[in-house]
Structure 1
Amino acid sequence: MFCKIWVTSALCAVALSAPTLTYSPGAAERPAEMQILSEYFSMLGQKVQAGRNMAAAPVCNMNSAVLPVASPTPLPAVSTGLSLKHVAIGRGTQNYSCTTGNQTAAPVALGAVATLYNATCVASTYPDLLSILPNVALQFNLTSPNQASLSPSNLAISGHHFFSNATTPDFNLNTAAMNLGFAPCAKNNTVPAPATAPKGQGGVGNGAVPWLKLITKDGATGNLEEIYRVNTAGGQPPATCAGMPTTFEVQYASEYWFFEKL
Structure 2
Amino acid sequence: MNEFYYENKEIYRKFILKEKITSLYFRFMSYWAIKTSLKIIVPTDSIMQEAITRFPRYISKLSRIYESSDFDSQTTDLADQGFKRVVKIIYVGGFYRHKGQLRFIQFIKQLLRIYPGLNQTIELTFHGHVKDVEYFKECESESRTLSIPVSFSSYSKEKSLAEIYSDHEICVSFSEYEGFGLPVIEAQSLGIAVCCSNLPVFCEILGNSAVILDLKDLKASLSRFQNLILNSAFRNSIRESGAENCKKFSWKNTASETYTLYFGLPNG
TM-score by length of 2: 0.28
Normalized per residue, which structure has more strand?
A: 1
Rg bigger for which structure? 2
Normalized per residue, which structure has more helix?
A: 2
